[in-house]
Structures are given as C-alpha cells and as structure tokens.
Amino acid sequence: MVAEPVRRRVVHVHVGAPKTGTTLVQDLLYANRSVLREHGVLIPGTHRYAAFHAAVDLLDISWGGVLDTARGSFDAVMAEIASWPGDVVLSNENLALAVDKRVRRIRAALPEHELRVVYSARDFARQVPAAWQERIRHAYTDDFGTFVHRLREEPDEMNARRFWRCQTWPDVLERWTRCLDATTATLVTVPPAGTDPEVLLGRFLDAFGVDPAWLPDRDAARPNPGLDPVQSALLRTIQVELERRVTDGAVRREALQGAMVRRWWARHPGPGRVALPEQDRAWADQVTAGWLARLREMDLRVVGDLADLEPTASDHGEAIDPDTVGADAMLELAVRTLADALEEHQALTAERDALSAGGGQETGGARDRVERLYRRVRRQA
C-alpha cells in the first residue's frame, strides 16, 4: 500500500493593507484563539500585539519607540509557528511595508510550511483620505492637501513612499508571492461603505480557511472609527502642538488614540466625511484602472469582487476638505472633548478613592470595580 503524502502545515500570511478591516478581524481572531486552537488553527503570540511587535521587529522600524519592546518578537513568533502541528493565521497590516529581504526571512524561518499570502484592498479613492487620517493619529502633521499633493507629485517623499509600498495592490501581491515562493495568493476585497461588517469578516475567514462557527465571541472587536472633517482638523492641530513639545510617544498612543479618538470621539461623530477633492478624482480613477488591469492578469484567488475596488458614482460627490475647517468648529469639539476627559477623570478618581478608603470585603469590591473599569478602558484603547 502506498502511503498518503503528509499534508504540509499552512501559514496564511495576511500582510494588510492598512485600513481594510484588519483591526476587526485581528481582534476577533485573537479573542477566539482558544477555540481556534481546538480546531487546529494557531493565532500566534501571548498577547494581542504579538503580531504587530513581530512585524515591527522584522521591519526594524522604531515605530515611536515600540521597537525597543519588540526586539526578539519576530523570532519568538516564528519559533511558535514552527512548533505548532496545525495551520496558522499570521495577520498584521504593517507587513505590507516589508522589502524583499525582510519577506524572505519568513520563508527562511518556516522552510517546511506552505505559505499562502492574503492581501486585503479597498477602493483607492476611499483609501487615500483613510490613510491620511491614520497618519495623523500617529504624529503626522501635514494637512490633507499636502498629503495628496505628495502622493501625486513627490512619490519618493518618505510618507508618500510608505503609502505606495503598502497600498499598491499588484506590487504587494507580487512581492510577497515571489519572495515567499507562495503557492497561493488571495485578494480580499472590502465591500462598499455601509455594508454589514459580517460580510467583510466572512471574506477574511474564507481566505484563512476558518469556519465562522469557530469564532463564538463576536463582541471583542475594538472600535476603529474613521474621523469626520472637524475631528481630523483638530487632531492634526493637536499633533502639531505635540510635535513642538517633543512629546513622548505614549501620550499619542494612550491619550490621543486610546482615549480621545476611540472612546470620546467615537461616541459623538460629527457630520460629513473626508473625501478626495473633485480635481483629484480622475487621477484616482486612472490609478485604479491600471492596478485592476494588472490584477486581472495575475494568477490570483479573489474573495469578494474586483468591482468592489472600482470607485462608485456615489463617491464622486463634493468632498469635505478638512483643511478648510474653521477655528469655531474645532473649539466646539475641543470643549466637548475636555468635558469627556473631566468626566472620565472623575470616575477613575472616585474608584481610586473608594479603593484607598475601603477595607476587607469593601476593598475587594472596589478593587473589582477598578479592575473592570480598567479592563474596559484598555479593551477600547
């Protein structure tokens, strides 16, 4: 009797792109990692940020001081994957930035595995403002008009070059497939705005070979809201001031992103949206057409529909330019933000005082309340 060939362990390497629902799927995969292990699927790492730290370590980028903490994370994650007897999903959107020699480190670390590249993309015209908003969350200070101008006219400028490296769909797929000698490349398309998030989640799970029933905890996803025009303008103004003060990166990660953007602002979204100005729409359409033509010539599995990546007629409405937001609108938002901060500070102070003043069972109850509040705040951060 001829023995059946041994099935190779599969690693689905999800390499981005940023702002394509990655936070949603990563949170849910990690929250359900114990159940997934029972089904033979590993989500590597001992904490929620393990894949991010591994990516930062692989890329060898400071990332606001994160690299100091992340040193050694890549080797640790690769060792965990190598020792796992089943399949793996490794997902971090920053991997899209990796140049060839960084990508090949993964192939070298996992010589016995079948590596499958997964890349997620959405309408380029929606992606440009989303990318600018993501950058102003992370210390970027250029206004929206300058950002778009540099994408168009200065592609070698540092931030423009980073954008093109991780957002040029066919380039990312070709680079990762070639360098990993991957047998399969999969493109997940993000459906149009307003679509039920379960649709996108289902596409990711299909790409990873994961049964949706293996994710019983569906409440773990952190909010990762987009910014309205006033929020975008005020956030950039604050970043300019923090840049002047040479502020520690933790202030931006914890206070600015965790508290202000994800908690206080998420509760009070304003009207309107940031969109490409009308004069840049033809350029976006031309870029999209070129990329789609290249994708159609590739040996590629598409989960979703390439039509999702074509700019829709509804996107061609008049753009709301965050660079024109006035001081009065920003002041109104700043006052509401300060009030939210004061209320949260008072709640935390009251819990702290109860813990300090209590004793015995009373102290235990206060401690439990503090821990519950802390966990809630950290989960939303």
> Residues 65, 140: one domain?
yes
Per-residue pLDDT tens over the stretch 180-193: 987 779 999 999 98
| Cβ neighbours of residue 122 closer than 8 Å, sequence gap 6 or more | 19, 20, 189, 190, 308, 309
> Residues 172, 285: one domain?
yes
Residue owning tokens 């899209």 = 96
Task: Establish if 232 belongs to a structural domain.
Answer: yes
pLDDT the model gives residue 316: 46
* CATH number (domain holding residue 165): 3.40.50.300
> Residues 282, 268: one domain?
no
| Cβ neighbours of residue 55 closer than 8 Å, sequence gap 6 or more | 74, 92, 94, 95, 98
> Residues 339, 215: one domain?
no
Task: Establish if 1 belongs to a structural domain.
Answer: no
Task: Establish if 209 belongs to a structural domain.
Answer: yes
pLDDT the model gives residue 364: 53
Low-confidence ranges of the chain (pLDDT < 70): 1-6, 222-225, 313-318, 358-381
> Residues 154, 206: one domain?
yes
> Residues 114, 22: one domain?
yes
pLDDT the model gives residue 285: 95
Q: CA-CA distances (angstroms) from residue 264 to 136, 149, 236?
A: 17, 31, 17
Considering only the C-alpha atoms of the chain, give the largest distance between any 2 of them, rounded to a whole number of Å. 81
pLDDT the model gives residue 353: 75
> Residues 144, 88: one domain?
yes
What distance in Å separates the CA atoms of residue 181 and residue 172, rounded to the nearest whole number? 14
Residue owning tokens 């813990």 = 355
**Range of 309's domain?**
10-221+278-316
Task: Establish if 143 belongs to a structural domain.
Answer: yes
> Residues 331, 254: one domain?
yes
Task: Establish if 4 belongs to a structural domain.
Answer: no
Number of domain units in the chain: 2
Q: Which two tokens stand for residue 371?
A: 């821990």
Task: Establish if 198 belongs to a structural domain.
Answer: yes
> Residues 151, 34: one domain?
yes
Last residue of a domain, one of 316, 343, 368: 316
pLDDT the model gives residue 343: 87
Q: Where is 56: in which H helix or E strand?
A: helix 50-59
Q: Where is 149: in which H helix or E strand?
A: helix 144-153
> Residues 283, 264: one domain?
no
> Residues 109, 245: one domain?
no
Per-residue pLDDT tens over the stretch 72-126: 999 999 999 999 999 999 999 999 999 999 999 999 999 999 999 999 999 999 9
Task: Establish if 5 belongs to a structural domain.
Answer: no
Task: Establish if 243 belongs to a structural domain.
Answer: yes
Phi, psi for residue 222 in degrees, rounded to 5: -80, 150
